[in-house]
Amino acid sequence: MSLLTSRLGAAVAHLAAPSVVARAHCDLPCGVYDPEQARIEAESCYKIIEKYAANEDAAFRTRAIAIKEERADLVKHHLDVLWHDYFKPEHLGTVPNLHDLFWQANKQASKVKASTDLADAKKLLDLIDDVDAAWKATGGQEKTRVVRQTA
């Protein structure tokens, strides 16, 4: 399923889901969630793979592999928090492919751990952008972030 179809589907589902009641949900830590956290770590993986390809020094490559492993793990952690705690049953109307999207994204993060192919990191970024779209489509940005004040 392309991202476009998914977004169209989400929009339609949004219109067609009048009876889903969004109950106030107060959890701790805090109710602050943002897929940007996963994105930043996935960008690290992307750049590490770029640098790995450009540098054949054995010690450099060992560091690159070890650090990529950690970064991809952080991607998974941030994705898991979103799936466990931000997304709730009332969002399934807006994001019908929610579970599959997160499953794919996490499996892709596992793949990036094992891979030195830039296309794998690129696909991970795309999946995180789909998660970001789902977060925005469900009002995540307005509901969870603290508004930045401008002078």
**Positions 20 through 59 that interact with a copy of itself (CB under 8 A):** 26-32, 34, 36-37, 40, 43-48, 51, 58-59
Scanning residues 116 to 145, which ones bind a copy of itself (CB under 8 A)?
A: 116, 125-126, 129-130, 133-134, 137, 145
Q: Which is nearer to a copy of itself, 20 or 85 (CB)?
A: 85
Q: Does 4 bind a copy of itself (CB under 8 A)?
A: yes
DSSP state of 145: S
Q: Which is nearer to a copy of itself, 18 or 29 (CB)?
A: 29
User: Three-state SS for 23?
Assistant: coil
Q: Which is nearer to a copy of itself, 18 or 146 (CB)?
A: 146
CA dist., res. 127 & res. 15, Å (int)? 24
Q: Which is nearer to a copy of itself, 58 or 119 (CB)?
A: 58
CA dist., res. 130 & res. 126, Å (int)? 6
One-letter amino acid for residue 51 of the chain: K
Number of residues that bind a copy of itself (CB under 8 A): 71
DSSP state of 147: P
Do residues 127 and 105 touch, judged by C-beta distance below 8 A? yes
Scanning residues 79 to 98, which ones bind a copy of itself (CB under 8 A)?
A: 80, 83-85, 92, 95-98
How many residues make up the chain in this entry?
151
